[in-house]
Amino acid sequence: MTPMGDGVDRAARERAKAIAEQQRAARRQRKRRCVLCGVEESERVPLGPHPDGIGPACREEAACMARRANR
């Protein structure tokens, strides 16, 4: 490669790294939601794995069903 092309490649890699880090940070900040009723995870409403493996779901099934009935 030419010296000039190497600088462009390095700049592109640095930009890609910065974008990837921003995406990782955004993913960490995003709140998880129950796949059944749509409520956000909190200390009051902890989420756990759904028995069928379809995503996070409320740990208290009765409360989840009540929220779904109100929708």
Along the chain (71 residues), what's the average pLDDT of each consecutive run of 10 residues? 68 94 87 90 88 89 88 75
Residue ranges in 1-71 assigned as alpha helix (H)? 3-29, 61-70
Together in a domain, 20 and 36: no
CA dist 62 and 65 (Å) reads: 5
- Looking at residue 69, its amino acid is A
Cα diameter, the chain: 65
Domain total for the chain?
2
Structural domain of 60? 32-71
CA dist 32 and 10 (Å) reads: 35
Together in a domain, 26 and 37: no
pLDDT of the residue at 28: 82
pLDDT of the residue at 3: 55
